[in-house]
Amino acid sequence: MRFNTSLIHGNIGPKEDKGATNVPIYQCNSFQYETARELEEVFSGKKPGFIYTRINNPTVEAFERRIAFLEEGIAAVATSSGMAAIALAILNLVRSGDEIVSASGIFGGTYSLFRSFENLGIKTRFAEDSSLESFEKHITDKTKVIFIETIGNPRLDVPNIRQIAELARKRGIALIVDSTVTTPYLVKPIKLGADVVVHSTSKFINGSGSCIGGIVVASGNMKIDYDKYPLLKDYKKYGEFAYIARLRNNLLKDFGACMSPFNAFLTTVGLETLGVRMERICENALCLAKALKENKKVISVNYPGLEESIYHQLATEQFGGKYGAILTIRVGTKENAFKVIDSLRYAINSTNIGDVRTLVVHPASTIYTSFDVEEKEAMGVYEDMIRICVGLEDVEDIIEDFYQALEKV
Ligand SMILES: *Cc1c(COP(=O)(O)O)cnc(C)c1O
């Protein structure tokens, strides 16, 4: 089954008894059983079934099944947001005294989460760049997770996923990959050796900015040393499903960060058009990047699709000649950046990514405002930088829009 077909027909589960073509919304918080015995069996796991929507729900499960299939994982757990997905994916392996080695130049919310983890006694060491050495040198006996993004947002670094996965495997450490900006259309990190894939489904998977959501996908390939990962010990009997079983039965249940059935429905509808949207978005982004490079008011354009990007070669191989929706430009000063943003007619000033609309944001004064200048620059955030996330509009209109706005500075 090819990609666009698998979005529509891949692992959609049993036919609905009323013949509904879309997944029905099971808008209820709990499920009833005829007998006490039956509910006892469902509770103990002897019999499959739904109990309470905080733990599982048919609409949410349909979405989980489809993403697990697309990512070529064994199972998935949907969450209330991308942040919940990242937090639970990590806390399923890491406890006080443990360490994380993370890429730098990652999403601001994840940086902030790692700072919060310090309060729980969990330390994060940041690799300075995306080279293998810079990850390796931060690994200690306490390292339980290596965390990367497929394309760092907003620095737009591209790590070599296969190489980092090999390093992780060699050292017996779990590799968690945030593939929000690439989606399975560009890359399937599990095929390159990732143990766990996370997404903010609020972005490209939903595609139209209609709700928040996240998902954690387990590869089933993790070689778990239960002495190194004592949190998973109680779930050993689940074999390759140990990681995802604990995630659902412990963390999701206890923290309550479940996806709502309605949001699962909206996100599933979005998912079905992921392929055509991503194809168009990637084309538009490359066109816009090339056009902005020619504009004299633009000092630099950062986009892995441009040949001068140091990540161009790797991105081409790893993502099949597509480079995603996000590019950044620098325009000299913060005032210029504000002027451009305020002068755009179509592109919307919003902190989101992965919408049908082209979005722009000034990262330094918004998502990264709580960090000092040095930290910002380490994350690839500059005062004169605008982040653009290209949408589905006709690219000629997007280019014209930026050109007229740049003329104002
Ligand atoms: C948006 C985003 C998140 C967080 O997702 P939410 O759904 O907003 O909680 C995590 N990682 C990346 C790369 C993102 O872009």
Shortest-distance Cα residue to atom 1 of ligand 1: 200
Per-residue pLDDT at 7 exceeds 90: yes
Averaged over 49-63, what is the pLDDT? 96
> How does residue 375 score in pLDDT terms, banded at 50, 70 and 90?
confident
Residues 6+ apart with CB under 8 A from 317: none
**Distance of CA 404 to CAs 290, 357, 400, Å?**
16, 18, 6
Look at strands 300-302 and 214-218 and give their pairing: unpaired
> How far apart are the CA of 43 and the centre of ligand 1, in A?
33
> How far apart are the CA of 44 and the centre of ligand 1, in A?
34
Res 100: pLDDT: 98
Torsion 124-128-132-137 (CA) sign:
negative
> How far apart are the CA of 83 and the centre of ligand 1, in A?
6
User: Tokens at residue 151, please?
Assistant: 């394309």
> How does residue 378 score in pLDDT terms, banded at 50, 70 and 90?
confident
Res 211: pLDDT: 97
Does this model's pTM top 0.85? yes
pLDDT in tens, 142-189: 999 999 999 998 889 999 999 999 999 999 999 999 999 999 999 999
Averaged over 108-137, what is the pLDDT? 95
Res 280: pLDDT: 98
> How far apart are the CA of 81 and the centre of ligand 1, in A?
8
Per-residue pLDDT at 14 exceeds 90: no
Shortest-distance Cα residue to atom 5 of ligand 1: 82
Res 138: pLDDT: 98
Shortest-distance Cα residue to atom 2 of ligand 1: 200
Res 15: pLDDT: 79
Can you tell me which atom of ligand 1 is nearest the CA of 353? 15
Per-residue burial over 124-148, b if 16 or more Cβ lie within 10 Å, else e, is: bbbbeebeeeebeebbeeebbbbbb
**Range scoring the smallest mean pLDDT among 45-49, 52-56, 195-199, 285-289:** 45-49
Pocket test of ligand 1: the residue of 80, 157, 180 to mutate, having most ligand atoms within 8 Å of its CB, is 180
> How far apart are the CA of 193 and the centre of ligand 1, in A?
22
User: Tokens at residue 223, please?
Assistant: 């070689």
Q: Are 83 and 111 in contact (CB under 8 A)?
A: no
Site of tokens 């998502």: 367
Shortest-distance Cα residue to atom 6 of ligand 1: 82
Mean pLDDT of the chain, nearest integer: 96
Torsions phi, psi for 365 (to 5 deg): -100, 5
Averaged over 195-213, what is the pLDDT? 97
Res 65: pLDDT: 97
> How does residue 17 score in pLDDT terms, banded at 50, 70 and 90?
confident
> How does residue 328 score in pLDDT terms, banded at 50, 70 and 90?
very high
Can you tell me which atom of ligand 1 is nearest the CA of 354? 15
Give CATH 3.40.640.10 domain extents, the chain.
3-271
**Range scoring the smallest mean pLDDT among 8-17, 218-227, 325-334, 389-398:** 8-17
Q: Which CATH number is 3-271 given? A: 3.40.640.10
Element holding 40 (H helix, E strand): helix 36-43
Pocket test of ligand 1: the residue of 79, 81, 83, 183 to mutate, having most ligand atoms within 8 Å of its CB, is 83
Give CATH 3.90.1150.10 domain extents, the chain.
274-406
Residues 6+ apart with CB under 8 A from 194: 161, 165, 175, 176, 177, 219
Per-residue pLDDT at 291 exceeds 90: yes
Q: For residue 270, with 0-12 CB atoms within 10 Å meaning exposed, 13-18 middle and 19 or more buried, which class applies?
A: buried
Torsions phi, psi for 140 (to 5 deg): -130, 180
Looking from the CA of 121 toward its CB, the CA atoms found within 13 Å total 6
Q: Residue 319 in 3-state DSSP?
A: coil
Q: For residue 343, with 0-12 CB atoms within 10 Å meaning exposed, 13-18 middle and 19 or more buried, which class applies?
A: middle
Residues 6+ apart with CB under 8 A from 111: 371, 379
> How does residue 361 score in pLDDT terms, banded at 50, 70 and 90?
very high
Res 223: pLDDT: 87
Shortest-distance Cα residue to atom 4 of ligand 1: 82
Residues with beta carbon inside 6 Å of ligand 1? 81-83, 107, 109-110, 149, 153, 178, 180-181, 200, 202-203, 212, 214, 353
Give the integer Cα–Cα distance in Å for 359 and 402. 12
User: Tokens at residue 60, please?
Assistant: 């949410």
Can you tell me which atom of ligand 1 is nearest the CA of 181? 13
Torsions phi, psi for 174 (to 5 deg): -75, 135
Per CATH, is 274-406 categorized as 1.10.3720.10? Answer: no
Pocket test of ligand 1: the residue of 79, 88, 107 to mutate, having most ligand atoms within 8 Å of its CB, is 107
pLDDT in tens, 103-117: 988 898 999 999 999
